Amino acid sequence: MRAVIFDAPDGRPDSTVIRDVADPVAGPGQALVRISHAGLNYADLMMRQGIYPHPKGYPLIAGLELAGTVVDVGPGVTAVAPGDRVAAFSEDAGAFAELCAVPVERIIHLPDRIGLDTAAASYVQALTAWNLLHNVSATKPGDVVLIHAIGGGVGLFLTQLAKAAGATVIGTVGTAGKEARALDYGADLVINRAETDFVAATLAFSGGRGVDKVVDSTGASILDRSFDTIRKLGHVVSYGEAEGKPFANLWERLVQKSLTFTRMHLGHLDYGSDIWRRGVAEVMSGIENGTIQVPIEGVFTFETVEDMFAALASRQTAGKLILKIGA
What DSSP letter does each residue of 169-201 carry, written as one string?
EEEEESSTTTHHHHHHTT-SEEEETTTS-HHHH
Beta-carbon contacts of 268 under 8 Å, excluding residues fewer than 6 positions away, are none
What are 4-36's pLDDT values in tens digits?
999 999 988 889 999 999 999 999 999 999 999
Rounded-to-integer distance, Cα 255 and Cα 253, Å: 6
Q: What pLDDT, on a 0 to 100 scale, did the predictor assign at position 127?
A: 98
Peptide bond into 59 cis (omega under 30): yes
Structural domain including 194 reads 126-266
Same domain assignment for residues 117 and 130:
no
Burial class of 290 by CB neighbour count within 10 A (0 to 12, 13 to 18, 19+): exposed
Query: Average pLDDT, stretch 218-226?
Result: 97
Closest CA to 181 of 206, 209, 207, 151: 151
**End residue of a domain, out of 266, 283, 305:** 266
Does a structural domain hold residue 282?
A: no
pLDDT at 259 over 80: yes
Rounded-to-integer distance, Cα 186 and Cα 65, Å: 27
Domain count of the fold of the chain? 2
Q: What pLDDT, on a 0 to 100 scale, did the predictor assign at position 316?
A: 82
Share of the chain above pLDDT 90, in %: 92
Query: Average pLDDT, stretch 210-234?
Result: 98
Here the CATH number for the domain that contains residue 64 is 3.90.180.10
pLDDT band of residue 61 (cuts 50, 70, 90) is very high
pLDDT band of residue 62 (cuts 50, 70, 90) is very high
Q: What pLDDT, on a 0 to 100 scale, did the predictor assign at position 179?
A: 93
pLDDT at 168 over 90: yes
**End residue of a domain, out of 246, 266, 286:** 266
Q: What pLDDT, on a 0 to 100 scale, did the predictor assign at position 289?
A: 96
Q: What pLDDT, on a 0 to 100 scale, did the predictor assign at position 79?
A: 96
Q: What pLDDT, on a 0 to 100 scale, did the predictor assign at position 274?
A: 98
Q: What pLDDT, on a 0 to 100 scale, did the predictor assign at position 24?
A: 97
Q: What pLDDT, on a 0 to 100 scale, did the predictor assign at position 53?
A: 86
Rounded-to-integer distance, Cα 92 and Cα 60, Å: 9
pLDDT at 217 over 80: yes
Mean pLDDT across the chain, nearest whole number?
Answer: 96
pLDDT band of residue 327 (cuts 50, 70, 90) is confident
What are 35-58's pLDDT values in tens digits?
999 999 999 999 999 988 887 889
Q: What pLDDT, on a 0 to 100 scale, did the predictor assign at position 58?
A: 95
In angstroms, the Cα distances linking 19 to 6, 24, 35, 271, 302 are 11, 14, 16, 33, 10
Work out the number of other CB atoms within 10 angstroms of the CB of residue 299: 16
Rounded-to-integer distance, Cα 36 and Cα 68, Å: 5
Listed in sequence order, the DSSP H helices in the chain are 42-49, 116-120, 123-134, 153-164, 179-184, 198-205, 220-226, 250-257, 274-289, 305-313
Here the CATH number for the domain that contains residue 250 is 3.40.50.720
Same domain assignment for residues 140 and 98:
no
Whole-model pTM over 0.85: yes
Q: What pLDDT, on a 0 to 100 scale, did the predictor assign at position 200?
A: 98
Same domain assignment for residues 98 and 181:
no
Same domain assignment for residues 238 and 306:
no
Q: What pLDDT, on a 0 to 100 scale, did the predictor assign at position 234?
A: 98
Name residue 159's amino acid. T
